[in-house]
Amino acid sequence: MALAPHAIEIMIKIRQHFIFVLPVVLLLANAFTWYVVWSETPKGILTVAFLDVGQGDAIYIEAPNGNQVLVDGGSGRQILRALGAVMPFYDHSLDVVIATHSDADHIGGLPFVLDRFNVGAVLEPGVGSETNIYQEFEKRANDGTRLHELARRGMRLRLDNNVALDILFPDQDPTGWETNTASIVARLVYGESSFLLTGDSPIKIEKYLITLDGEKLQSDVLKAGHHGSRTSSAPEYTAIVKPEYAIISVGKNNRYGHPHQEVLDLFAKLGATIFRTDASGTIVFKSDGATLTHN
Ligand SMILES: [Zn+2]
């Protein structure tokens, strides 16, 4: 489904805690484009850290120019320590926080983050929840100190000259949907390196993404959907993504039995290296745009 036939270009100067919102009407474009402040850094290192927050997701992204994005915040205050391990102690700002969906193991830590950090913009899919934790999150997201937007396919967060975070899903208004189904799916690209971040997106959405993007889903690193549950990671989807690394963000001895053995077998069969946060702790990838390395 197409968005409104106009684009809004939003320039965020977070570093100076100053925000420009510049509406631009384009004749043919039907997408949102987001530009997060950039500086001229011809070559540098992109960091993507899959944070160990127990059972839940939290992914920290830092572009070569220093722009920072947090995708999900785990289930509680342990996010603060996890961030402290990958961010300088004096750094109390994040440019963008993305809540992939409203389940507690993804947004439970975000109220702590929004209280502690200057956050320039919050993105979410737009499917709420009656839970206290969602209300706490919304209260802070709506406090008027930051942009609060719905993520929609076609949005691009340009984090640096050559670093883009593209929103692939939702491509329509998911109001009334089950929360996992509405998960934001985003693909981060820096030169030759790519990461596919999927929240708890279920198999039916994975199959739908194949119809939308096909081979363009191919990514070096796949954050396996829903903590390695069998309700995600369809064989036809993982075969198209063809990840070199599969990340499973999961708590030790979690009560859901995640990850499921058939998902581990599937990635092994694909020849992907599997990293689990319950076994390896925080997993940090670095890329110079050509070579991908990990800790
Ligand atoms: Zn989850």
pLDDT, tens only, 10-62:
444 343 333 333 333 333 344 455 555 444 444 699 999 999 999 999 999 99
> Which CATH number does the domain housing residue 73 bear?
3.60.15.10
Q: Is residue 295 part of a domain?
A: no
pLDDT on residue 35: 53
Of 18-22, 107-111, 169-173, 210-214, the least confident: 18-22
**What separation in Å is there between the alpha carbon of 226 and the centre of ligand 1?**
5
What is the reported pTM? 0.87
**What separation in Å is there between the alpha carbon of 199 and the centre of ligand 1?**
7
| Distance from C-alpha of 67 to C-alpha of 64, rounded to nearest angstrom | 7
pLDDT band at 129 (very low <50, low <70, confident <90, very high): confident
**What separation in Å is there between the alpha carbon of 221 and the centre of ligand 1?**
18
Q: Compute the half-sphere exposure of residue 171: CA atoms within 13 Å on the CB side of its CA.
A: 11
Q: Is residue 62 part of a domain?
A: yes
Instruction: Assess contact for 82 and 58: CB atoms under 8 A.
Output: yes
Which residue in 31, 12, 14 sits closest to 22, CA to CA? 12
**What separation in Å is there between the alpha carbon of 25 and the centre of ligand 1?**
37
**What separation in Å is there between the alpha carbon of 55 and the centre of ligand 1?**
8
pLDDT on residue 14: 40
Q: Is the pLDDT of residue 180 over 60?
A: yes
Q: Is residue 57 part of a domain?
A: yes
The residue-averaged pLDDT of 68-73 equals 98
Q: Is residue 2 part of a domain?
A: no
Q: Is residue 294 part of a domain?
A: no
Q: Is the pLDDT of residue 87 over 80?
A: yes
Q: What is the pLDDT of residues 196-227, one digit of tens each?
A: 999 999 999 999 999 999 999 999 999 999 99
What is the CA angle 23-161-117, rounded to 5?
70
Number of domains in the chain: 1
Q: Is residue 1 part of a domain?
A: no
**What separation in Å is there between the alpha carbon of 72 and the centre of ligand 1?**
10
pLDDT on residue 28: 38
The residue whose two tokens read 């993982």 is 238
Instruction: Assess contact for 290 and 191: CB atoms under 8 A.
Output: yes
pLDDT on residue 172: 96
**What separation in Å is there between the alpha carbon of 81 and the centre of ligand 1?**
20
**What separation in Å is there between the alpha carbon of 65 and the centre of ligand 1?**
30
Q: What is the pLDDT of residues 266-281, one digit of tens each?
A: 999 999 999 999 999 9
**What separation in Å is there between the alpha carbon of 146 and the centre of ligand 1?**
25
Cis preceding-peptide flag for 170 (omega within 30 of 0): yes
The residue-averaged pLDDT of 128-155 equals 95
Q: What is the mean pLDDT of the chain?
A: 88
Q: Is residue 60 part of a domain?
A: yes
pLDDT on residue 36: 53
**What separation in Å is there between the alpha carbon of 232 and the centre of ligand 1?**
11
Residue 192: give the domain boundaries. 7-289
Residues forming a β-bridge with 246: 222, 274
**What separation in Å is there between the alpha carbon of 138 and the centre of ligand 1?**
18
The residue-averaged pLDDT of 243-255 equals 96
Percentage of the chain surpassing pLDDT 70? 85
**What separation in Å is there between the alpha carbon of 147 and the centre of ligand 1?**
25
| Distance from C-alpha of 37 to C-alpha of 122, rounded to nearest angstrom | 15
**What separation in Å is there between the alpha carbon of 86 and the centre of ligand 1?**
22
HEC readout, the chain: CCCCCCEEEEEEEHHHCEEEEEEECCCCCCCCEEEECCCCCCCCCEEEEECCCCCCCCEEEECCCCCEEEECCCCCCHHHHHHHCCCCCCCCEEEEEECCCCCHHHHCCHHHHHHHCEEEEEEECCCCCCCHHHHHHHHHHCCCCCEEEECCCCCEEEEECCEEEEEEECCCCCCCCCCHHHCCEEEEEECCEEEEECCCCCHHHHHHHHHHHHHHHCCCEEECHHHHCCCCCCHHHHHHHCCCEEEECCCCCCCCCCCCHHHHHHHHHHCCEEEEHHHHCCEEEEECCCCEEEC
pLDDT band at 92 (very low <50, low <70, confident <90, very high): very high
pLDDT on residue 26: 37
